[in-house]
Structure 1
Amino acid sequence: MKKEIGDETNIKVLGNVLKDMGLYDKALQCYEKLLKQSKPNDLAILSCYYGIGQVMQLKGDYGGSLWYFEKVLDLESKFPSKDKMISGLTHNYIGIAYHYG
């Protein structure tokens, strides 16, 4: 099963779980590890930036989160997808960053 899922998915899922548990620094470590392992054209980078942006916002660093969410939008323009949910959520988080930041 590990071959089917791969380490990349495991690290991302672990980061998401840690974020949801409020263990923000550990979640950041997972996302940063995945970023280092990802290739420049890898869609995992988009997920990492999105996760880091969420963690930064949860920690109250709205300026930091804004940078990551803008990177998500930039990457989405390079990797178009039919699923517009991430784009919509990212715009929402950007609005929150401007409102509270």
Structure 2
Amino acid sequence: MSHRGVSQIPECFVLDRQRRIRGAKFERMEEMKELSTKVFDLASEDAREFEEVKRFMESFLKERRAWLDAACELERGGHADADQTNSPPVLISFFDKNSILC
């Protein structure tokens, strides 16, 4: 494909299953954009809430990266901590005032 200068797979070669997955992902992304816009708008009004949302997002990204790194290491034949690879990271709701964010 690169030899012929084609940068995308022609639509006729895309499986229906792949189209459904792509459509579901697009729908989830749109829903997350709407939700995050509301959360960011509210959090930006208060410095404490802003820091709380920011810490949650940074923590989520850090945990997700660690989980993906461990999964990739296992796939390459390496060893990783069992607790990191058995399940995805646990999400903490930052709306719950009793939750503690690390």
Q: Which has the larger radius of gyration?
A: 2
Q: TM-score, normalised by structure 1?
A: 0.30
The structure carrying a bigger helix percent of its residues is 1
Q: TM-score, normalised by structure 2?
A: 0.30
